[in-house]
Amino acid sequence: MPTGVGAGVAVYDRDSGTFTERLAPDARFRSASVVKLLIALDHLWDRGPVDVLPPDDRTRLAAMLASSDDNAAGHYWERNGGTGVITRMVSRLGLTGTSGPPPDFPGHWGFSAITAADTVRVWCHLLDEAPAALRDAVLGPLRRATRYGTDGFDQSFGIPSAFARPWAVKQGWSGFPSAAAARAKGAGRDGVDLDRPALHTTGTVGADDRVVVAVLTLHPPGTAYGAACAVVTELTRTLRAPGAVTS
């Protein structure tokens, strides 16, 4: 691991029901856009048949998941009660290290705290417990993740660069230059770092979504986005993911 880089890693083989990699799996990181998984699941939880959602709702959800659209995330965050989204999903999924943003930043959904272990739990719920229609509505866009997010950042680092398809991904980035206006300084509640650049790759790899991967990272201040992406991709490529093909 390069000097100054912090990481939380969990890799889970659904076939064997075991973790093949764990590195600080319970360390807490600010979520950046990985929290959009929880935002989507919360919105769809009690909505009835997903295939009868209004067209604009389906379009907005797809943009939030496939292209990490922040405006869509903000829409659902405000519509569904802000931090209440996280409170509900923590209870529903039995998450132990996840919490909403600090009180000083109630609208900053990306300042929610997550862990690699909890992120694996979220993906496993989606794959193994969620109703089929909900699962397809969320996984479909994640399998079609675009090269660039709607904010212009390249989101092909980590899983998409380290492993051949099939995969599904939800990436996260925060604290890089063009996102400076959304940054806070120092540590938030419970020591969650809100300052250093964060870059996360999470998702599934291999046939039938066999392996769930969560790699959460923090980088030294001033790290260029491309340099952080290279570190995360190289780390992800070294992980033991049974049945997956490295690229």
Token couple for 129: 């417990």
Q: Give which of 148, 170, 177, 182 is closest to 216, Cα–Cα.
A: 170
Q: What percent of the chain has pLDDT over 70?
A: 94
Q: Binning pLDDT at 50, 70 and 90, where does residue 29 land?
A: very high
Whole-angstrom Cα distance, residue 29 to residue 229? 17
Q: Tell me: the pLDDT tens digits for 181-227?
A: 445 566 666 789 999 999 999 999 999 999 999 999 999 999 999 99
Q: Answer for the pair 66, 114: CB distance below 8 angstroms, yes or no.
A: no
217: CATH: 3.40.710.10
Q: Is residue 175 part of a domain?
A: yes
Amino acid letter, residue 200: H
- β-partners of residue 216 are 8, 200
Q: Is residue 244 part of a domain?
A: no
Q: Tell me: the pLDDT tens digits for 98-112?
A: 999 999 998 999 999
Q: Is residue 18 part of a domain?
A: yes
Q: Which residues of 120-140 are buried (b: 16+ CB within 10 A; e: fewer)?
A: bbbbbbbbeebeebbbebbbe
Q: Which domain holds residue 173?
A: 6-237
Query: For position 188, what pLDDT does the model report?
Result: 60
Residue-averaged pLDDT of the chain: 94
Amino acid letter, residue 29: F
Q: Is residue 32 part of a domain?
A: yes
Q: Is residue 97 part of a domain?
A: yes
CA angle 102, 44, 65 (to 5 degrees): 70
CA distances from 5 to 28, 73, 115, 218 (A): 14, 28, 16, 6
Its pTM stands at 0.95
Q: Is residue 157 part of a domain?
A: yes
Q: Is residue 67 part of a domain?
A: yes
SS3 154: strand
Q: Tell me: the pLDDT tens digits for 142-190?
A: 999 999 999 999 999 999 999 999 999 999 999 998 654 445 566 666 7
Q: Is residue 217 part of a domain?
A: yes
Radius of gyration of the chain (CA): 16
Domain count, the chain: 1
